[in-house]
Amino acid sequence: MRFVLENVGPLRQAQVELGDITVICGENNTGKTYAAYTLYGFLKKARQVSMPFEISEAQFSQLFQSGRLAIRYEQEKLVAMMRKMFSEASREYALELSDTLACSFDALSEASVSAEFFEEDFALMGRRMNSAIHVSTDLSAVLNINVRRGVINIHLNNREHKEILEGVYMREWISDAVTRIFVKQLFPDTFIASVERTGIEIFRDEISLARDSFLEDMIGSVRSGRQLKLPSNYPLPIRDNLKSLLRFRQIRADHLSPVVVEYPQILTDFADIIGGEYVIDSMMGVRYQPAGSDLSLSMAESSSAVRSLLLIGLYIKHMANFGNLLIMDEPEMNLHPNNQRRMTRLFARLANAGVRVLITTHSDYILKELDALILMNRNAPRMRKIMEQEGYDARELLKASQVKLYTTQESSPTKDGALARYVLNQTPVSQELGTTPKCFDETIDAMNRLFDEIAWGK
């Protein structure tokens, strides 16, 4: 699947295919965050889209007579329906993009976002649908819906709900529940850590107060008959980060994500990076406990690195699931170069465990560490010796084919006074050379020339 973005902020054009690890790098103000936030919003909307999967009157009657219904679906008709549905959803999302990015509508009047499907995408969807039972929980109190091997199975759990089920919207509800099973095989469940994450727990209560004040104003406006437009002061990822913190507060401390249950070393490695662990306190919020200490620190008392990695740590511990996509805007923020390298290795572990990762970055340390993980993944005694000496694990190694690298580049010379426009170009990644990035070379070369002149010049 290829995502196509046009006229989104500074980005004139971008085409992005997700790898197990996807990296977007480039200079400031070139559209990296615009791309990440736009993709996040699109994926979130895509998973909420419903198709008009038809259930006939006869089939609906059969469900109530026997308590169960089996419908065989045709893959070709399903694919055609999905292509049409997502074409329409893309046009709708372009109109909603100003809310996702908290920009004026006029600034995005020419923007478009779409997904181009490959035949392999639907083939993979078909293989997934045939290899396991996929269940919808949307109406689990009333219906049990699952799909397996080309058959949609619907079971009525309680005949007492017959009057409710015969309501005018029930066929649509069933259709939505069924089609979302298919949609979720195409688009990953996505979690994002925005670049504003460092202060988000500290100011969460203040933002909640502002929200409560706004709700009071809205209620007053409705009562008085005034029209009130909903504001979008924060981009969607920031708003969702705030909601995530509220969800994390409600999670039991002993609830571990499926990924951590199967790969506990990932959580151990993360705890080693932050030098402790995050503990959820329903009354006091999220606390940080340094390893080997009885201290319990609030986020305001904790280091900027601890605050910067909070959302990622809670996501890994409590939410990460196989098939997810994790987006992190500038993971290097507030991190020492050594921890930038270690987070890169953690991303590789997640990717190899089945959680895809997309990052935007300015960090040469991150790209160089990705290079090391790719270049060491060659079956040679010397590589194995280096891994042993440097403490690398085989579960951190990457194939070049797993990594997609994109860099921003100015699309064309700009006229005086006009804003620069950029394109997102894919950079080759190879097993022999790694990522071969060019976006930092000019700065690194300039610094090398400077110090050569200082040390050796006349």
CA atoms within 13 A of residue 410's CA, in its CB half-sphere: 10
pLDDT score, position 213: 44
pLDDT surpassing 90 at residue 136: no
Percentage of the chain beyond pLDDT 70 is 87
Residue 92 is predicted with a pLDDT of: 92
Mean pLDDT, range 108-115, rounded to an integer: 93
Instruction: Look at residue 227 in the predicted model and tell me its pLDDT.
Output: 46
Least confident of 59-63, 168-172, 261-265: 168-172
Residue reference for tokens 């090391």: 372
The model's confidence at residue 68, banded by pLDDT at 50, 70 and 90, is confident
Q: What is the pLDDT of residues 420-431, one digit of tens each?
A: 899 999 999 999
Instruction: Give the pLDDT confidence score for residue 210 in this predicted structure.
Output: 46
Predicted confidence (pLDDT) at residue 212 exceeds the cutoff of 50: no
In whole numbers, what is the pLDDT of the chain averaged over residues? 86
**Rama region for 418: left / alpha / beta (φ>0; ψ in -120 to 50; rest):** beta
User: What pLDDT does 223 receive?
Assistant: 46
For the cut 80, the answer to whether the pLDDT of residue 147 exceeds it is: yes
Residue 229 has pLDDT above 50, yes or no: no
Q: Is the pLDDT of residue 54 over 90?
A: no
What mean pLDDT is predicted for residues 198-209? 65
pLDDT band at 19; cut points 50, 70, 90: very high
The pLDDT value given to residue 138? 61
Domain ranges of the chain: 199-220+241-322
What's the pLDDT at 430?
A: 94
Q: For 265-279, how does the pLDDT look when each residue is reduced to its tens digit (9 = 90+)?
A: 999 999 999 999 999
Q: Which of 6-15, 214-223, 314-323 has the lowest mean pLDDT?
A: 214-223
Q: What is the mean pLDDT of residues 225-235?
A: 58
Residues 328-377: tens digit of each pLDDT = 999 999 999 999 999 999 999 999 999 999 999 999 999 999 999 999 99
pLDDT at 110 over 60: yes
